[in-house]
Amino acid sequence: MFGGTRYTPKGDQISAGVLKEDYVLTVGEKATLKDYWLWYYQNRITFISEATRTYNCHGYAWHVSEGQDNVWINTPNDCPYEPKTNLKYYKLNPNMTGSTSVLCYNVQRTFNTNITHMTGATLTWTPSGYITYYSGAGTPEYTVKGSGDGNSYVNFQITTPTGFS
């Protein structure tokens, strides 16, 4: 393998890169490996794409999922899908609730998200236009107040411990 150094979401240094050009699996070998790993991890993993010289599941879990380039990472010291771990998994599909109706001057409105216990994540709410912050910065529940006349919105952003938003 040739490539370079990458870092896991926890900041651990690992080697990663691209496998040599002569690394090629047959269709049958790929199917066998896919079935084995699905069985091994008790179907707690999701098959996304076949491994290639430049991509495998470890590369996805620690690098591609955070918005970086495709890399091959050999089996590391710690696997996020290991059946014997007590890791928690989160689906990053934040839902924001709160009325979209007219908000009068000096009236409060609270917005909520279903992301409530994502360790190390930063929740950022940003009001625009004619609404101002009232309470809840950095929390799953954010309250604003009407402060003028015109169109406005509240933007919600989650930033992971590794900086991916």
> Does residue 34 fall inside a structural domain?
yes
Is pLDDT above 80 for 82? no
| Total domains, the chain | 2
Is pLDDT above 80 for 36? yes
Distance of alpha carbon 114 from alpha carbon 165, whole angstroms: 16
pLDDT at 107: 87
Instruction: Answer yes or no: do 62 and 100 share one domain.
Output: no
The number of angstroms, rounded, from the C-alpha of 5 to the middle of its chain's C-alpha atoms is: 21
Which residue is listed with tokens 């003028």?
148
Domain boundary among 66, 85, 105: 66
Is pLDDT above 70 for 26? yes
Of residues 28 and 118, more confidence is placed in 28
**With pLDDT > 90 as the criterion, what percentage of the chain qualifies?**
5
> Does residue 11 fall inside a structural domain?
yes
Query: For the whole prediction, is pTM greater than 0.75?
Result: no
Structural domain boundaries, residue 138: 96-159
**Average pLDDT for the chain:** 76
Which residue is listed with tokens 């495709």?
70
Instruction: Answer yes or no: do 6 and 57 share one domain.
Output: yes
**With pLDDT > 70 as the criterion, what percentage of the chain qualifies?**
66
Of residues 77 and 126, more confidence is placed in 126
Instruction: Answer yes or no: do 100 and 48 share one domain.
Output: no
Residue 112's DSSP bridge partners are 97, 141
Distance of alpha carbon 92 from alpha carbon 156, whole angstroms: 13
Q: Where are the alpha helices (DSSP H) in the chain?
A: 27-40, 57-62
pLDDT at 145: 92
Instruction: Answer yes or no: do 12 and 58 share one domain.
Output: yes
